[in-house]
Structures are given as C-alpha cells and as structure tokens.
A = this chain, B = another copy of it.
Amino acid sequence: MTIQPSACPSGDEKVELFGLLLETNARLARTLGLELEAECDLPLAWFEVLLQLRRASESRLKMNQIADAIVHSTGGTTRLIDRLVEAGLVVRESCPSDRRAIYVAMTNAGDAKLDEALGVHLSYLDKNLAGRLSATERTTLAGLLVKLNASA
C-alpha cells in the first residue's frame, strides 16, 4: 500500500511540476512578504496594488482591473482598497463615463511608499532571483511563465 518515494513520489511529471510551482511561489512570497512588512511596513498585497497602479496609464485602474491583475475576488479587492485608502496610499475616483465603475489612483504618499518598497524588493530580488538564476535563465523562465499564464 505504501509507495516508495524514490520509485514514484506521486507518479506524474506534471504533478511534480505543479507542486514545484506552488512551493516555489509560496516560499518566495513568504520571504518577500516578511521583508517588505519588516522594512517598509507594507503588506505584499498592498505592494502588488501599487505596482499595478504605477504600471497603468495615468496611474489609475478600475476596481475590476485590479482584482484581475492581482488575482483576487472582487469582494476581497474592495476590502483591500478600503485599507489602502485608509492608509492614504490611494484614492477612489468616480468614472464619468460609467457611474458603476470606480477608479483607484495613487496618491503622492502611495507613490513614495512604492519607491521605498521597490528598494527593498530589488535587494531581495538580487539575493533570491539574480543569485540563483542567470539573466538568460530568467528570460527563459519569464517566457515559460507567460505561456503558462496565457488566458488561464
């Protein structure tokens, strides 16, 4: 009844790969999250929102775009943005062309906070990404992830 670990851990190469993806991600997210929290007092989810906003044209996105970008439920995103607003890092703005929609835009404080966090993030990445993968490998990895991510 027991399965030999060396013979067939759980059998399938794809199962292994998926498990590896989950584990790698969980570890990196945990490490970075703790570091951001400790050095900038910024939860990882907040950092992700700010990063998405900076990427966006005019530094603003609608609620549903944020939810999609950071892969949260819409309800969860509402609460998350509530907290960012309360912290003064973003503001909600109404959308003239669609009165259901709400824009979320960065404040100056949010912008500054993101700069600070990016500093920590980059030093983290130097340790944990660049220290382990060459530039070529990183490019390859990014390409594979893009494929994986396509229209998931």
Contact = CB atoms under 8 A, between A and B. Distances in A.
Interface of A: 1-5, 8-32, 48, 51-52, 54-59, 61, 65, 69-71, 111, 114, 118, 121-122, 125-126, 128-130, 132-133, 135, 137-142, 144-150, 152
Nearest to A152: B27
A55 B121 contact: no
Contacts of A126: 14
A67 to B, nearest CB: 12
Contacts of A57: 1-2, 4-5
Contacts of A132: 147-148, 150
Contacts of A114: 10
A21 to B, nearest CB: 6
A10 B55 contact: yes
Nearest to A8: B55
